[in-house]
């Protein structure tokens, strides 16, 4: 009967020791926030022209909406990261950040184009709908995760620069949906092992006779290694493509 080593006691592979400022860093989900911001940059890189100011504004809006607001609401709704942050702190972070993100969007509709209005409204609705599991959790699914946190950021990054819909933007958004779906398929069992599994038992018997004891670390290791490689690869890819385009 194998139990988890202490390094799996934390609720996420990137989680810091609980308490104080470390809870804020953990709440930010640094790898996943960077991952989803890379979708914005990948979408922008598919546009005919990349405008640095528009890309910067889009990144700022998604940093606030996803990196802070969505994650704060997620922590309000069940404490999955087991932080000691007070409820009012989380709610305040969520509301102020979402208002800031919407404010950037509204400014974009005035300065860039009113065509951005549907994207601003969609973003303002997706954050609470998904993270608070509104409508009986209808929006809290693998499909909506892929659309909201993969396709939507990529398409927004593309559209704020192109202001038109072309195959390149649609294809990149679709690819980011699939990448987000892959993230979900890897992160769900990884979270389950860390947060909801008391112990693991069993053995893996190889064809050469070797026997491997199954542990939480053995099962979660490949999942979290793949997640780490993917977020780093996407950030580097996005940065490289934007560097070329600018």
At residue 6 the predicted structure's pLDDT band, cuts being 50, 70 and 90, is low
Does a structural domain hold residue 4? no
Does a structural domain hold residue 184? yes
Does a structural domain hold residue 10? no
C-alpha–C-alpha distance, residues 163 and 241, integer Å: 20
3-state SS, residue 211: strand
Tally of domains within the chain: 1
Tens-place pLDDT, residues 29-73: 999 999 999 999 999 999 999 999 999 999 999 999 999 999 999
Instruction: Provide the whole-model pTM.
Output: 0.92
C-alpha–C-alpha distance, residues 154 and 165, integer Å: 12
Cα distances (Å, whole numbers) of residue 105 to 113, 128, 132: 10, 17, 22
Does a structural domain hold residue 90? yes
Tens-place pLDDT, residues 171-208: 999 999 999 999 999 999 999 999 988 888 899 999 99
C-alpha–C-alpha distance, residues 97 and 65, integer Å: 6
Contact 66, 87 (CB under 8 A): no
Tokens of 196: 């909801």
Contact 111, 160 (CB under 8 A): no
Give the position of tokens 């890819």.
237
Structural domain including 93 reads: 15-245
Does a structural domain hold residue 154? yes
Does a structural domain hold residue 1? no
Does a structural domain hold residue 8? no
Does a structural domain hold residue 211? yes
- Residue whose C-alpha is closest to residue 46's, from 157, 193, 130: 157
């Amino acid at each position: 009967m194998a139990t988890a080593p202490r390094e799996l006691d934390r609720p996420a592979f990137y989680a810091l020791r609980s308490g104080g400022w470390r809870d804020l860093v953990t709440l930010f989900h640094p790898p996943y926030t960077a991952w989803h911001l890379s979708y914005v940059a990948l979408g922008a890189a598919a546009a005919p022209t990349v405008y640095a100011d528009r890309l910067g504004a889009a990144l700022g809006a998604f940093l606030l909406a996803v990196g802070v607001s969505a994650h704060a609401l997620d922590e309000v709704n069940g404490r999955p990261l087991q932080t000691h942050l007070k409820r009012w702190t989380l709610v305040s972070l969520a509301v102020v950040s979402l208002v800031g993100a919407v404010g950037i969007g509204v400014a974009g509709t005035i300065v860039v184009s009113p065509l951005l209005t549907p994207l601003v409204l969609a973003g303002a609705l997706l954050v609470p709908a998904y993270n608070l599991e509104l409508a009986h959790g209808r929006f809290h699914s693998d499909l909506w995760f892929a659309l909201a946190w993969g396709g939507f950021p990529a398409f927004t990054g593309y559209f704020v620069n192109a202001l038109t819909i072309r195959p390149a933007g649609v294809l990149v958004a679709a690819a980011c949906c699939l990448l987000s779906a892959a993230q979900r398929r890897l992160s769900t069992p990884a979270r389950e092992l860390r947060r909801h599994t008391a112990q693991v038992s069993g053995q893996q018997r190889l064809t050469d006779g070797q026997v491997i004891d199954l542990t939480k670390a053995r099962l979660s290791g490949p999942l979290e290694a793949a997640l780490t490689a993917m977020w780093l690869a996407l950030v580097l890819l996005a940065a490289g493509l934007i560097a070329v385009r600018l």
